[in-house]
Each structure stands twice: as structure tokens, then as C-alpha cells.
Structure 1
């Protein structure tokens, strides 16, 4: 099966943010930010008898809501624009045993049995080579028979967890 794909910067940003904010720690930080925001709002609206928020609550809120997403975005931007693998149009040949990826400036072959794990998301297949780097396969460039084929291939790989 051959898939031709190109990942836009916008798609890459959405993907990485969805992966980042799936993690428990970042969700917990968002909960803390939400609680601090409620505290500030309730204090100024005199809804509850809460202590006055001090500078630390405002700083924490700014760090969680503005600084952290900004740093993630800068990292995404750097990764995308420093990597030919992400910017190039790719042709991926996926077989029962391996995936061959051909770009303008590189060629790569990966045995499917050597993958760390495979994650299926709503718009993507992520084939992790280790816990940090993944081959990104976009579903938008596949028809329904291609999706069935790749799902069949993925489920038949031994010793590679599929999520």
C-alpha cells in the first residue's frame, strides 16, 4: 500500500498539542489554573468569603495559561522548521513487514516488528520508533480501503502494542 502525504505546520501543531495535553500532568496543571481563576473571580465578585489572591496566584495563572503553551509552540515551530522529514512531501510504502519512506532529501526503511508502539488517533497513525519519535501517517490521504488495510497490518504485528 502506498500513501503520499505532507504534514502542514497547522496540522503538526494540532497533533503535538493534542499529545501534550493528553498527559495527566498537563491536565492537572490546567485544573490548577482553572481553580485559581475561579478563586480570583469569586473573590472579586464577592461570591464566597475567600482570601485575597496575592501575586503568586496571578504569576502561577500566567505561567500555566500563557507561558507554558507559548513554550510548547516555540518548540513545535523549531522542530517543524528544522526537520526535512516533517516539511517534505513523503511517499510511504507500507507492507506486512516494513514501512519505506521516501522524501525529497532522504529514504528510510523501518521493520514493523522493531517499532516501540503504534497509536491510532482520529486523524493520524503514529508509529513510534522509541518513546519520543514517531512516524506520522495522515489518515486524510487514505481512502477507506487503505484504512482497513493499514489497521489489518498493524494488528498482525507481533510484540508491538497498539493503542
Structure 2
């Protein structure tokens, strides 16, 4: 199976924010920020007789609501523009035993048995090489038939990876 993909900065930014904020710790932080925001609003409206928020509540709200997203954005921006693999159009060939990736400035082959895990999101296929590094395939750049075929290829590859890990005891 052959694919041609390209990920724009906007697409990559949306994906990274989604992946970041789906983690439980970030959801808890957003919940805390929402509670602090409600506390401040209810105090200003003189509802429920809440105590006056002190500077620490404002600082915490600012850190969670402004600084944290700014840090995520700057990290994503730096990673996207420093990576040849993300910015360039990639031609991928998925074979029975490996994935071959041709970029404008590089060539890479990865055996399926070396893949950490696979994930399908609403708009993406993710092929993780390890916990932090993934091959990103946007569904937007695929036809319906290609999406179906890719699901089959990834399911077979995942099955082979599972068999291999059992054999070597990983």
C-alpha cells in the first residue's frame, strides 16, 4: 500500500493540543482552573457568600489558563519547524513486514515488529515508534478505500507485533 501525506502546522497543533489535554493530569488542571474561575466570578457577583480570592488563586488561574497553553504552543511550534519529517510531504509504502518512508531529504525503513503501538483517532492514524515519537497519517489526505485498507494493514501489523513480542518475551 502506498500513501502520500503532508501535515500542516495547524493540523499538527490541533493534534498535539488534543493529545496533551486528553491526559488525566491536564484534565484535572483544567478542572481546577474552571473552579478557580467560577470562584472569582461568583465572588465578584456576590453569589453564595464565597471568601475573597487571594493573589494565589489569580496566579494559579493565570498559570493554568495562559502560561501552560503558551508553553504547549511554543513546544509544538519548535518541534514542527525543527523537524524535516513533519513539514515535508511524505511518501509511505506499507508492506507486509515494514513501513518505508520517503521524504524530500531522508529515507527511513521501520520493521513492524519494532513499532511500539498503533492508534486511530478521529482524524488521524498514529504509528508509535516509542512512547514519544509517532508517524502521523492524517485521514484527510486519504481516500475512503485507503482508510479501509490502512486499517487492515495496521491490524495485521499489530497482530504480528503481538506474536513477535510473545516469542521474544517482551
Q: Which residue of 2 aligns with 1:5?
A: 5
Tell me the CA shift for residue 159 of structure 1.
3.4
Tell me the CA shift for residue 96 of structure 1.
2.2
1:97 paired to 2:97: yes
| Runs of at least 4 residues off by over 6 Å | none
| CA RMSD, 1 decimal | 0.9
Q: For structure 1, which segment, 63-72 or 107-116, has the greater mean C-alpha deviation from structure 2 after superposition? A: 107-116
Q: Count matched residues.
A: 160
Q: Which TM-score applies when normalising by structure 2?
A: 0.91
Residues 57-93 of structure 1: CA deviation (Å, up to 9, x unaligned): 0000000000000000000010011111111111011
1:99-138 correspondence to structure 2 within 5 Å? 99-138=99-138
Q: Which residue of 1 aligns with 2:50?
A: 50
Residues 23-70 of structure 1: CA deviation (Å, up to 9, x unaligned): 000000000000000100111111111110000000000000000000
Tell me the CA shift for residue 5 of structure 1.
1.1
* Ranges in structure 2 where 5+ consecutive residues have no aligned partner: 163-170
Q: Which residue of 2 aligns with 1:60?
A: 60
Q: Which has the higher helix share?
A: 2
Tell me the CA shift for residue 144 of structure 1.
1.3
Q: Which residue of 1 aligns with 2:143?
A: 143
Q: Which TM-score applies when normalising by structure 1?
A: 0.95
